[in-house]
Amino acid sequence: MSIFSFLPILCMFAIYTSLVKLAAFLYKRTILSWKHAFIYTTGITVVSMSYAALTILTEHLIPVPVTILIGLAMQLGFGGWYLGSKAQAANNGTLGFKQGVWIAVIANVLLSVCTIPMFVFILLSFP
């Protein structure tokens, strides 16, 4: 196994960490350290992978639209819990759960804005 096989995973972490930090900045100029953005990215990856594994193990008993909504609720809940307590407002106070959810929403929108054009480009690249 080559070291280059880990390159896509490292790029994914770097891009999503940067987008989380950008989302925090876009939300009322909130300050979020790179460490906390990376920990959030790692945590959300573990939460998402665990939920995906659970969905596969239960043999898709839950309909797909419900599964998507549950996954989104888990991501937003984790974002509210973690980012709300770690991000710093302009007055050096923590934001709280609701504002943490908004940072997670902005991060997911930024991720979608970056991912969808790449996905379309990849689909159109192959005959």
The DSSP-derived string for 88-123 is B-TTS-B--HHHHHHHHHHHHHHHHHHHHHHHHHHH
Q: What is the pLDDT of residues 47-102, one digit of tens each?
A: 989 888 888 887 778 888 888 888 899 999 999 999 999 998 878 888 889 999 99
What are the residues whose beta carbons fall under 8 Å from the beta carbon of 84, sequence distance 6 or more? 94, 95, 96, 97, 98, 99, 100, 101, 103
Query: 106 pLDDT exceeds 70?
Result: yes
Query: 5 pLDDT exceeds 70?
Result: yes
pLDDT of 28: 86
Predicted TM-score of the model (pTM): 0.84
pLDDT of 1: 65
Across the strands, what pairs with 3?
Answer: none
Mean pLDDT of the chain: 89
pLDDT of 61: 83
Q: Is 80 exposed, middle or buried (0-12, 13-18, 19+ CB in 10 A)?
A: buried
Task: Yes or no: say if 30 and 87 are a contact pair by the CB < 8 Å rule.
Answer: yes
